[in-house]
A and B are shown apart, each in its own frame.
Chain A
Amino acid sequence: MTKEERLKKRHSAEKRFRFYGLASIFVALLFVLILVHNIFSKGSSAFMKTAINVEVFFDQELLEIKNGATEDQILEADFYDITIESLLKVFPAQDLDQENQLIDLFTTDAEIEIKRAFLKNNNLIGKKINLEITASDDIDQLHKGNYPRDLPEDRRRISDFQLIIYDNLVENKKIIKNFNNYFFKNGDSRDPELAGIGGALIGSFYSIIICLLLAFPVAVLASIYLEEFAPKNKITDFIEININNLAAVPSIVYGLLALQILLATIQLPRSTPLVAGITLALMTLPRIIIPCRASLKAVPPSIREGALAVGASKFQSVFHHVVPLALPGTLSGTIIGLAQALGETAPLILIGMVAFVVDIPSTPIDPSSSLPVQVYLWSESAERGFVEKTSATIMMLLSFLIVMNFLAVYLRQKFEKRWN
């Protein structure tokens, strides 16, 4: 091999090496894109829901209530018969089987939706109005194009007769897409078209607030102690090692801790945001302490010395001068810690937040779910409608995380002083 050939080889090795580096960054970026694209393309349709325009006749004989009925009377009245009557008028059905298939096109909550319309306007007796009744999950998925209709009939959930009705409805422009308020308002449900993340949102909110209230003060005080007051001795070293190790303990271990101490020993109520908040706080604490200490450390000693020189006590120098300067870094570290806690799933599963909870929790000691746990729960469900619901929940979760992370970056860049 001549000198030139060797040099050429070395240079191409250089180029190859550089290419590997660039390629691996590219692969990582590509994956972020694929993931986000995958979630968004699956989930964005969940924000709309399919409804069918139905003409409802409020027959006084069937309803047995009069115009101007009180709320209690309406709530007690039986709307089942007029619901069935109205739904059957959508398309002529030949026999009982076809009638059932027709009714199956609508959500199981059709009766409640009609009742709700009547509650809004109780002068409808004897009148006909057009209502948009939510369609069943199968029709919803079919209309959004998520469901293949070219399968043989015995392998699909929608019968040929239902397809005929569907096509007829589409032709007559009776099928509408409108904003899916159920998704944000409702709690969990076995029916995908009715299931929502309302309960999970509130549950997550309570958990994170409790986590913040517990973890933030303790973390700030602990880092002030360790950074400003702690004498250099064995106890301090031991605490430091402990905090570093705790930050690396797998989150599921905190679930076991909560199960044994909070649920079995202290007997706090299972499946509640209270327990979730405490667990997350214990888990987040070391993860907040580490950035808090870093931001305290970044305040130059001259600040402390200046305060001490004019006669401030150690406490005054720390609390009047160092802590306010370190606050932006502290806050942004806390927000990032909370963002991690918001996405944490495993410990919450162990403390029973996987329970099926329909009601929206009103206090932190009501059983509840949380956003990431809801993702886990729905991803285990077989119904096709839950795939888009899961993806949409992930979209919500990710947007919260993005907002929190931007807030953290903003706080740091806007308010943090650079010392050199």
Chain B
Amino acid sequence: MNFVLIFLITIFSLSLFFYGRSKTKSISIEKNIKLNALPKFYGYYLVLWCSIPSLVFLLIWTLFEPVIIKSIIIETAANQGAIFNDKNEANLIYEKIKAIYAGTYFGDIDIILKESALSYAKFINLFTNSKIVLIFGIVIASVIYSLKKIKNNNKARDDVEVILKGLLFASSLIAILTTLGIIFSLLFESIKFFSVINIFDYLFGTNWSPQRAFVSDASAITAAEYDELKDAFGFIPLIAGTSFIAFIAMLVAVPIGLFSGIYMAEYASVKIRRISKPIIEILAGIPTVVYGFFAALTVGPFFRQIGENLGLTVSSESALAAGLIMGIMIIPYVSSLSDDVINSVPQSLRDGSYAVGATKSETIKKVVIPAALPGIIGSVLLAVSRAIGETMIVVMAAGLAANLTINPLESTTTITTQIVMILVGDQEFDSPKTQSAFALGLTLFIATLVLNYIAQRAVKKYREKYD
């Protein structure tokens, strides 16, 4: 249906373009007046007026129609005597009604649902019809308005440009809408979670085992149940595991990345630089799931084999394997940024150092790096935020159980792993377990935001210093 409407609107707008262009041309010849814009702008003007309001309306309508119909249908079903206790059962009944309507439901259809399916059909019809009528109304109204305008010889180019500018502005607002969407969707579920679990129990609890939390009705929890629950959602082991793996990753990425950045900025010839820089950046372009596969199937078992030979017990999902591979993934983030940062240290500083007899490495160690330090720290912080937000490597190569350990050979888990584990497969909405994933997401979002903010400030400040 929507496609037909969009198609019709497009065709109609296009024909309006030609109409507007020739109409204004003929007006100008007939009445012998000078047009305020080239004829094609009158065409554009009509096209924009015909299409934008109706398409925006169609979009909004399509987004909200199912939600509204659903709430109406569930209400009518309840009035007719359908019984459901919570949201999940209501959803199930709604799906059944829809299936009956579509004729894909096999099995006994009870009379209440049949009635509801009939009223569902009625509402769908009603909504579709009113959608078509409204869209026609909008198209006609806006076309009449714009035709009147062009007959009065408006300044069509200016008007078109105002509309287009609005369109450009609207596109740039999508970034803000996305941010708002992220914040709201995370907050919405997190607030529900924190209304059940005390935020301090979450932040300072030392035990994470959400699978223990079966609560049928999250709104009415007894004190005994709560004692059980608050112990299941302790954040400490997750942040410990996440930081631990990120720390191992940094142990790999910072020295290698920094040294390759320094080498490329200070020593490498143009030729070597031109070859090696893109190859190192390949590391950032490889999908993380590939690293995860490599870590889980090759590196993990390899470490366990070495451990066995040395008489150590190494978990095949060790923090070491995940951290090492993550570190390699992050090398280019460190090396590219520190390369840039070092390159923007003014040559005069180096020349001064050479003039008093320092060797190249001494200059780098004593002059260039201290001068570039804020920028380097910024790039390392960006890399850290990459590491704690990285998902696939840890999901595939690190463990699932939340151990509070600092032994790199044991398995630990991370925030992102837990989000995936909780949300994969069937989820019961409105259970503290599902909501905890959003609380974790919120924590992760805030943590990366803070890290990025500090890092960007550091890099910016450093740039300003030498610009």
Contacts and interface: CB of A to CB of B under 8 A. Distances in A.
A225 B293 contact: no
Q: How large is the interface on B (under 10, 10 to 19, 20 to 34, 35 or more residues)?
A: 35 or more
Interface in B433-467: 437-438, 441, 444-445, 448-449, 452-453, 456
Contacts of B364: 17
B361 A261 contact: no
B452 A28 contact: no
B391 A24 contact: no
B255 interface: yes
Contacts of B359: 10-11, 13-14
A198 B255 CA distance: 42
B132 interface: no
B172 A253 contact: no
Interface string B368-382: 000000000000001
A379 B331 contact: no
Interface residues of A, number: 85
A342 B286 CA distance: 11
Contact of B424 (A218, A245, A286, A349): A349
B441 A256 contact: yes
A315 B263 contact: no
21 contacts: A13-B359, A32-B282, A32-B283, A38-B298, A239-B173, A239-B175, A249-B389, A249-B449, A250-B416, A252-B420, A253-B444, A257-B186, A265-B67, A267-B67, A282-B181, A285-B178, A315-B164, A343-B285, A343-B288, A376-B396, A379-B293
Contacts of B168: 221-222, 224-225, 229
Interface string A247-277: 0111111111101110011110000000000
A244 B179 CA distance: 11
Interface stretch (A82-90, A174-182, A394-402): A394-402
Q: Please list the 6 inter-chain residue pairs (A to B) with the smallest Cβ-Cβ separation, ordered nearest first.
A: A250-B389, A343-B287, A21-B263, A260-B185, A225-B168, A17-B361
A314 B161 contact: yes
A243 interface: yes
Contact of A260 (B63, B188, B266, B267): B188
A375 B290 contact: yes
Residue among B161, B175, B420 with the highest chain A CB neighbour number at 10 A: B175
A158 interface: no
Contact of A267 (B70, B296, B391, B416): B70
B288 A345 contact: yes
Contacts of A342: 287
A51 B392 CA distance: 35
Given A256-B437, A260-B189, A218 B267 contact: no
B453 to A, nearest CB: 8
Nearest to A340: B285
Given A28-B328, A379-B293, A21 B282 contact: no
A213 B449 CA distance: 29
A154 B99 CA distance: 50
B8 interface: no
B91 to A, nearest CB: 10
A398 B185 contact: no
A390 interface: yes
Interface string B388-425: 11111001100000000000000000001001100111
B174 A21 contact: no
Nearest to A18: B267
B181 A346 contact: no
B438 A379 contact: no
A246 B264 CA distance: 30
